[in-house]
Structure 1
Amino acid sequence: MKIYWDRGLRLRVNGRKIGIDVKDPRDEDILLLSHAHSDHLPSKFRGRIICSNATREIINTISRRKIRENYSYLFEKGLEISMVDSGHILGSMSFLIRYKDYTLFYTGDFCDRERAFLQGMKIREFLEASEVDRVDTLVIESTYGSPYFIFPDFEDVVKEFRDWASENLSSGFNLVLLGYKVGKCQILSKITEGNFENVFVSEAVRRVNEVYEKRTDLKPLESIYAAANNGKLKEPFILICSPSSRKLLKLVERKFKVKKAIFTGFALDKSLKLLWGLDEAFPISDHADFKGLVKLVEELNPKRVLVTHGMSKRFASHLRSLGFNASPLSAKTIVSELFDS
């Protein structure tokens, strides 16, 4: 097996060419898609696609590139690929790859905490069901791979947000809540549900919400455009959208008195709201924090750890201080040739 990193993880095993979250598929005949965020999606879909049904549905909703068929596992000639809910967003998956006596676990983006309708990743239960005691290689994300990023309890942050929102709505402000259109905006839709009136979303968020409504208990929210056209847009209101909805944000800020808040783990950095010109920032993240990252490594106790996506050098250094054989993945890195495939 050959493992190397080049705009995604690429494996050569048993005559198969496997790409995991690769940006530019080349000669791969199997593509593993961990979730539906654009920074993890390939420029084209080719070969056998392994992902969850929810990931396929979200991709087909937000992208011009469509997935016609997807698979949830692969088992052939000693090569086995299975997946487990990573807890990041709806449909997100981590992958366990086994070949002969060798095991590789790829986390992708993951979260070990429950938030709204999402469960945290249950890695121990999955490994026990898979009859795996220890993995040979762990490939782990490190978005929050610094001890600085230890998140407060989700429900505590939700209460803080609701208090802030109630105070500002009572003062006549309209609120703009900012987060990724896939994942974060659906959590924002949920935590406002039943607590506030006149909650609207951008059209892009509404389309993604529809996928979540089929698979969770999230209730429908009307797009702000539809509300404006049918006379239902009343102040004070809450708008949930992505920071990339620039035209909508300019229009709303020009016509209404607003306050803006963003929801991200980087809100622990108090300078964030100043740099972004925001009124508030709340530390709600769809990733594991530093403690969650370390806990996963300790639970898996891998023989080798490869760190990617984020603070990879810093987190790998910390893991080495704990006694793990850890190294960061960088562009076009050939990790190893473990054995002849």
Structure 2
Amino acid sequence: MSGKIHRQDASSIFPSSTEYRCNLVPCGHVLGSRSLLVSRGDSSHQETARGAARDGIEFFYTGDFFTQPDRILSALAPVHTEILACECTYGTPFFEFPPYEVLAREITDWIATSLNKGPIVLYGYPLGKNQELLALLNPFSVDTPIIADEDTCACVDVYRDAGIPLPPCEPYRAYNRGKFFEKEHRWILLLPLNSRFDERYQKLDRTGCRRAAFSGWTLDAAWLEEWHVDAGFPLSDHPSFSNLVSFIEDCAPATLLLMHGNGTLLRHRLLDKMVGPLRNAVPRDTRIIALKP
């Protein structure tokens, strides 16, 4: 990794004579992830979230975040702020996801149908995505072994310790010693997405298992084709394009910094008042800056 570190005198951003408060608020991306809110004086996140007027300079750094309810983690609420530094992973209109209840039903229907034909492998991320998938697997845990790689299992333990109920899953190593995967015809395996072509899991090729990938990027047919799976579902822990625009609108920043995505394209879309759904997306006087990766 290479790059340059640019130092900025904080006094040029926040006057030294003013007292500021920093709050870390849950942002719904993965367990433990936080967004940063810097407020002046006695203003609080709760007051701002209810729509209180901006109290001097405020800075809201989202990091990776999620905005929709009905998931295993609380969603991030918009905050009325002077400066918003916002991720835009899916900052193009192409990335629109189904409502969660619709997507969850599509996923569980596919799992039920596929299990009638044989075992299945689900590819997500060890932290965050695979715990969401495990929660969806609860109805199948009664009569189907649920197995996961060691990293996913370790993260599941952390989620349980935090009070998030998840169905049981067993570590892959406990089943890998014998011929379980070859002999049994009904099991569910959770693996990291980047393990799809890992040599450690080559024996799965002989089981006739069906495979599915889970990411917002599955909407991109070319991306999905590279993974050689039977299905893809846009289960994401980032906001879709329309949810991202709504979040920015509700924050109503005076300055908007776009990062971690195609900020240039999103900036043009936000400023294009002739696009119907985005006509009033941001205040007319908002300054929008797309930060380069």
Could you say which TM-score interval applies, normalised by the shorter chain?
A: 0.7 to 0.9
CA shift for structure 1 position 121: 1.2
The whole-number CA distance in structure 2 between the counterparts of 1:180 and 1:226 is: 21
| Contact in 2 for aligned 1:317/1:327 (Cα 8 Å) | no
The answer to whether the Cα contact below 8 Å between 2:25 and 2:34 also exists between their aligned partners in 1 is: yes
- Is 1:224 the counterpart of 2:172? The answer is yes
Native 8 Å contact 2:60 2:85 kept in 1: yes
**Residue 248 of structure 1 aligns with which residue?**
200
Q: After superposition, give the CA deviation of every residue in 1:26-45 in whole Å (9 maximum; x if it has no partner).
A: xxxxxxxxxxxxxxxxxxxx
Residue-by-residue CA offset, 1:162-190 (whole Å, 9 max, x unaligned): 22122222112x21100111100111111
Amino acid at match of 1:212: Y
Q: Could you tell me which residue of structure 2 aligns to residue 108 of structure 1?
A: 63
Tell me what 1:54 maps to: none
Structure 1 residues without counterparts, runs of 5 or longer: 1-5, 17-75, 128-133, 332-341
Question: Judging changes above 3 Å, is the alpha-carbon distance between structure 1 residues 213 and 10 closer, same or farther for their aligned structure 2 residues?
Answer: farther
Deviation at 1:313, TM superposition (A): 0.9
TM-score normalized by structure 2? 0.79
Contact 2:214 2:235 in 1 (8 A): yes
| One-letter amino acid matched to 1:220 | P
Task: Tell me, yes or no, if structure 1 residue 295 matches structure 2 residue 252.
Answer: no
Deviation by residue 1:75-113 (Cα, 9 ceiling, x = unmatched): x97132112111111111111123573211101111111
Q: In the aligned structure 1, how far is the partner of 2:140 from the partner of 2:9? A: 51
Report the Cα distance in structure 2 between the residues aligned to 1:263 and 1:326, rounded to whole angstroms.
32
CA RMSD of aligned residues (A): 2.7
User: In the alignment, which residue of structure 2 is the partner of 1:13?
Assistant: 10
The match for 1:62 is none
TM-score using structure 1 length: 0.68
Classify the secondary structure of the residue corresponding to 2:120.
Answer: strand
Shift of 1:116: 3.4
Q: Label 1:10 to 1:147 Cα distance change in 2 as closer, same or farther (>3 A).
A: farther
- Residue 185 of structure 2 aligns to a residue in which SS? coil
Partner of residue 171 from structure 1, selected from 97, 103, 117: 117
Q: Distance in 2 between matches of 1:102 and 1:288?
A: 26
Report the secondary structure of 1:310's partner residue. coil
**Where does the alignment leave 5 or more consecutive residues of structure 2 unmatched?**
42-55, 274-283
3-state SS of 2:104 partner: helix
Does the 8 Å contact 2:145/2:169 carry over to 1? no
Asked if the contact 2:146–2:168 (Cα under 8 Å) also holds between the matched residues in 1, the reply is no
Distance 1:11 1:97, change over 3 A: farther
Which residue of structure 2 aligns with residue 193 of structure 1?
Answer: 138
Matches within 5 A, 1:54-69: none
Kept in 1: contact 2:88–2:263 (CA 8 A): yes
The correspondence for 1:121, drawn from 76, 87, 97, is 76
User: Aligned equivalents of 2:4 and 2:272: distance in 1?
Assistant: 28
Secondary structure of 1:194's partner? helix
Residue from 3, 22, 35 that aligns with 1:81: 22
